[in-house]
């Protein structure tokens, strides 16, 4: 009879194989694009077998979505942690921008998939892509709504502002992916945060920016 340790060992091995397949898929999708990639490319890159890949995933589409969803979950967790340790609009925005920018910088391959490959992957993926964007929008909208209530920024359409912020961050990272500028990407943190705050009418005071 298998012991708990045996079962744990097999689970760990399965998880390691799954992670290896996803990491290899990320590289394949980044290099070839979603539509030009095939499962055989992922099999070869991962050093596994087609049977192993299909044991974990039903199709290339499921591999792609698992990759994106896993990454989105990591980003969401890191955002939640960063914001929980921030107080006030400036600190919350700084934490959000820094978390997103540093995460994209550390995971350039995944950033390319999320910002470049995913929008072009076809209608079947757009629902989940929009759901992820709306999740981020709601996070930012929450900061802005509190800032309006506290009188830190003028009353405004905070949902539209949050969409604009997500679009601005995405465009900055996309430019970096295409051109390598700025290098490092973290150089955008301070100016981008100031730009986002000024776009909603926030007027910084010495106390606010310390």
pLDDT of residue 167: 92
60-209: CATH architecture: Orthogonal Bundle (1.10)
55 within 8 A of 64, measured Cβ to Cβ: no
pLDDT for position 210: 42
Radius of gyration of the chain (CA): 20
pLDDT at 165: 94
In this prediction, residue 179 has a pLDDT band, given cuts at 50, 70 and 90, of very high
What average pLDDT score do residues 17-35 get? 89
Q: What is the mean pLDDT of residues 192-204?
A: 91
* Confidence at residue 120, expressed as pLDDT on a 0 to 100 scale: 67
Please, which pLDDT band fits residue 209 given cuts at 50, 70 and 90? very low
3-state secondary structure 169-206: HHHHHHHHHHHCCCCCHHHHHHHHHHHHHHHCCCCCCH
Per-residue pLDDT, 161: 95
Kindly tell me if the per-residue pLDDT of 6 is higher than 90. no
CB burial readout 48-68, b (16+ within 10 A) else e: beeebbeebbeebeebbbbbb
Segment 56-97, tens digit of pLDDT: 999 998 998 888 888 888 888 888 888 888 888 888 888 989
Distances from the Cα of 118 to the Cα of 54, 89, 189, angstroms: 22, 31, 24
Residue 179 has which token pair? 């051109």
CATH code at 1-57: 1.10.10.60
Domain assignments of the chain as residue spans, ordered by start: 1-57, 60-209
């Amino acid at each position: 009879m298998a012991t708990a340790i045996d079962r744990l060992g097999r689970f760990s091995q399965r998880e390691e194989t799954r992670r290896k397949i996803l990491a290899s898929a990320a590289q394949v999708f980044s290099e070839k694009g979603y539509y030009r990639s095939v499962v055989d490319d992922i099999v070869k890159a991962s050093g596994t077998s087609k049977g192993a890949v299909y044991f974990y995933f039903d199709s290339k589409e499921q591999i792609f979505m698992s990759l994106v969803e896993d990454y989105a979950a990591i980003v969401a967790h890191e955002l939640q942690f960063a914001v929980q340790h921030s107080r006030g609009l400036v600190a919350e925005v700084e934490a959000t921008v820094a978390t997103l920018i540093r995460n994209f910088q550390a995971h350039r391959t995944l950033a390319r998939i999320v910002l470049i490959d995913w929008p072009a992957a076809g209608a079947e993926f757009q629902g989940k892509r929009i759901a992820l964007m709306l999740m981020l929008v709601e996070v930012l909208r929450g900061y802005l709504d509190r800032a309006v209530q506290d009188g830190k920024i003028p009353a405004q359409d905070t949902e539209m502002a949050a969409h604009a912020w997500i679009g601005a961050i995405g465009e900055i990272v996309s430019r970096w992916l295409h051109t390598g500028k700025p290098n490092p990407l973290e150089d955008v943190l301070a100016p981008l945060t100031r730009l986002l705050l000024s776009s909603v009418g926030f007027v910084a005071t010495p106390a606010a920016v310390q």
